[in-house]
């Protein structure tokens, strides 16, 4: 672990002078099937991070519940499971929610957005044009989605990495969100 921290510190220093990483406040995250890697990592060594963010989580490799003492935020988008689907519903965020036994955990399903909304305009356009994953066809709404994603992630991590409780309101109070939710649950 110390060698990993040293290597990452060296990499950071080569790009940004004077930045001192706080290794006691690290989060990890993923999109889509990257959830497999994250779940494997935290089961092997849950001290790698202090919080987890899973955007559009998907796994077919994990079938048995597990318990790690890490807070987790799970966000899926409504169109992710619609044809052309990027996620099979039975292996999406609800499946991951059931597998992840520890608390705190928060999940939500965002109305009107697809699996590619998390990426930049090039990714979204590719998904739309190639019919790879269903999109809402409205690229002008991506900025709203990105603001939402950044806000809930910041609120979640500020609470669980920084210890500032009031920031959790941006994750648990849907009236503060610029998007509609189809599903929400918090086990805090």
With respect to residue 123, please indicate whether it lies within any of the assigned structural domains: yes
With respect to residue 8, please indicate whether it lies within any of the assigned structural domains: no
> Cβ distance 148 to 178 under 8 Å?
yes
Joined tokens for residue 115: 């699996």
Domain that includes residue 141, residue range: 25-187
Q: Which of 49, 9, 44, 3 is nearest to 26 (CA)?
A: 49
* pLDDT tier at 78, thresholds 50, 70, 90: very high
- Count CB-CB contacts under 10 A for residue 39: 23
With respect to residue 115, please indicate whether it lies within any of the assigned structural domains: yes
With respect to residue 101, please indicate whether it lies within any of the assigned structural domains: yes
Tens-place pLDDT, residues 162-171: 999 999 999 9
Residue 99, φ and ψ in degrees, nearest 5? -70, -40
Cα–Cα distance list, 123 to 29, 37, 130 (Å): 19, 22, 10
User: Is residue 1 pLDDT above 80, yes or no?
Assistant: no
User: Is residue 140 pLDDT above 90, yes or no?
Assistant: no
Q: Which of 104, 145, 111, 142 is nearest to 125 (CA)?
A: 142
With respect to residue 5, please indicate whether it lies within any of the assigned structural domains: no
**Is the pTM for the entire model greater than 0.85?**
yes
CATH code, domain carrying 142:
3.40.50.1820
For residue 27, the cross-strand partners are 51
DSSP 8-state symbol, 30:
E
Lowest mean pLDDT among 17-21, 22-26, 55-59: 17-21
With respect to residue 6, please indicate whether it lies within any of the assigned structural domains: no
With respect to residue 95, please indicate whether it lies within any of the assigned structural domains: yes
Q: What is the C-alpha to C-alpha distance for residues 115 and 77, in angstroms, rounded to an integer?
A: 6
**Domain total of the chain:** 1
Check residue 138 and give its pLDDT: 82
With respect to residue 7, please indicate whether it lies within any of the assigned structural domains: no
Joined tokens for residue 110: 């965002």
User: Is residue 180 pLDDT above 90, yes or no?
Assistant: yes
């Amino acid at each position: 672990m110390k060698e990993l921290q040293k290597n990452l510190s060296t990499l950071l220093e080569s790009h940004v002078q004077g930045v001192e990483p706080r290794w006691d406040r690290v989060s990890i995250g993923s999109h889509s099937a990257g959830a497999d890697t994250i779940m494997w990592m935290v089961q092997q060594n849950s001290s790698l991070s202090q919080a987890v963010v899973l955007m559009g989580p998907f796994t077919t490799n994990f079938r048995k519940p597990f318990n790690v003492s890490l807070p987790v935020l799970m966000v899926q988008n409504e169109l992710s499971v619609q044809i052309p689907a990027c996620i099979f519903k039975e292996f999406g965020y609800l499946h991951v929610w059931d597998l992840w036994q520890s608390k705190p955990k928060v999940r939500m399903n965002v109305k009107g957005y697809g699996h590619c909304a998390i990426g930049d305009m090039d990714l979204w356009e590719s998904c739309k044009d190639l019919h790879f994953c269903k999109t809402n066809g409205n690229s002008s709404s991506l900025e709203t989605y990105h603001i939402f994603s950044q806000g809930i992630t910041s609120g979640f991590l500020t609470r669980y990495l920084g210890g500032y409780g009031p920031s959790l309101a941006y994750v648990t109070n849907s009236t503060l969100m610029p998007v509609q939710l189809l599903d929400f649950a918090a086990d805090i």
